[in-house]
Amino acid sequence: MKSLLSLLLPFLPLALSRAGKEYIEEDILNLRQKWAVEHPFGGISTFAHLQHVRCLVDPHEEFDIAILGAPFDTAVSYRPGARFGPRAIRAASARQSESRGFNVRAGINPYLSDVKILDCGDIPISPFDNELALRQMTEAYKELMSRSTPSGRRPIIVTLGGDHSIALAALRGVNSVYGPVSVVHFDAHLDTWYPTKYPSSWPTLQSAFTHGTMFHLAYNESLLLPTYNIHAGLRTRLSGADMSDYAGDDAQGWARISTDDIDDIGVAGIVKRIVDHVGKSKVYLSIDIDVLDPGIAPGTGTPEAGGWTTRELIRILRGIEGLDVVGVDVVEVAPAYDCAENTALAASQVVFEVLSSLAKKARATVKLEGEGEARDEL
């Protein structure tokens, strides 16, 4: 007996043919000519209108640099809300694009350069279980760090936080490729605090993982190069009635630049201290937006008055662009406390400046390699 399907088969082409216009190549070109332009305020929000690929589930789309959201904020000590940081930074980056992306300060358009930058979307992170969240983030970073790139170099992940605790997972990812690295840390706070510095009569293993202890945990896991790490922009109050927090920081091998140092040694002096300190080591660049003054960047988890301006931070970042940066985060943007997108705008500009420096460095490397080949041929 014939099946119902075999009886219907002759009529299927008729059933599947659709009403409407057939498009030839010229039609497609016409459509593109009319509609391909995207206004800054239009389109689906990706960082700088970059191509969006969910890189964690699509391993075939290669990238040199990944913009990666880490929407996680259940390890904060004060204001929650940084889980909305990645989408706020993306929205605030809307005036950046391939067509209007030339960075005059840097002399390069990072979106039209030798590096392929994708917006890899967000890591899905549990908001209910921090042990699981850290495991998810760690696995995501290790996965993406293992990918091959169009340039043949190692991938660089630029994370949009999220609270600062995400840096522990990012450092584990970096460590899986490079071993221990230096950390250049822009922040009002130390973030090397011993977990016991957060007073609690109910200590648990899990409560040790916070946005103020992750570098201490990273030190314990030997993720940092001893003595090659440096904070910049510090102005936090310390625990108790002495400098013991600094002693703890010293013991973990960090140097410190305070916010006020900029008045004494200027941008150039700060740049020199950072560059002299980390030298040629591989660098993880961690930028807590609370390094900026809360008058400029109020939308953050633990604001501290009296910080740097965005211009000062950008000029310092420009000064250290020769460092061998292998991973980046811009964290602690909490848009619920923001006004007029100020904080997110500052963060998106900082990301733009870092991308410009990374693209510039890649161009210099290509040039050097090219010259090397030319020399080899002679």
Binding-residue pattern over the window 280 to 309 for Mn ion, x denoting contact by CB under 5 A: --------x---------------------
CB atoms within 10 A of CB 61: 13
CB of 164 to Mn ion, least distance (A): 4
- Dist. CA 284–CA 84, nearest whole Å: 23
Angle at 277 (CA atoms; ends 274, 282), nearest 5 degrees: 90
Q: Minimal CA–CA distance to 173: which of 198, 202, 147, 141?
A: 141
Residue closer to Mn ion by CB (options 117, 291) is 291
Residue whose CB is less far from Mn ion, 101 or 162: 162
Considering the complex, what minimum distance in angstroms separates the CB of residue 291 from Mn ion? Answer: 8
* By CB under 5 A, residue 73 contacts Mn ion: no
> Would you count residue 329 as binding Mn ion (CB under 5 A)?
no
Write out the binding residues for Mn ion, residues 178-197 only, by CB under 5 A. Answer: 187, 191
Residue 290, marked binder? yes
Is 245 marked as binding a ligand?
Answer: no
Residues 6+ apart with CB under 8 A from 213: 165, 191, 192, 193, 194, 195, 197, 198
Tell me whether residue 164 is annotated as binding.
yes
Q: Which is nearer to Mn ion, 189 or 361 (CB)?
A: 189
Stretch that binds Mn ion, among 46-54, 157-165, 228-236, 276-284 (CB under 5 A): 157-165
Cβ-Cβ contacts under 8 Å for 181 (sequence gap 6 or more):
171, 174, 175, 223, 224, 225, 281, 282, 283, 284, 326, 327
Q: Is 187 annotated as a binding residue?
A: yes
Is 293 annotated to bind ligand? no
Which residue number, 304 or 353, has a Cβ lying nearer to Mn ion? 304
Determine if 164 is a binding residue for Mn ion (CB under 5 A): yes
Q: How many residues make contact with Mn ion (CB under 5 A)?
A: 4
Q: How many angstroms separate the CA atoms of 325 and 362, rounded? A: 11
Phi/psi for 194 (5° steps) reads: -65, 140
Residue type, 167: A
Residue stretches of the annotated binding site:
164, 187, 189, 191, 288, 290
**Footprint of Mn ion on this chain (CB under 5 A)?**
164, 187, 191, 288
* Residue ranges of the binding site for Mn(2+): 164, 187, 189, 191, 288, 290
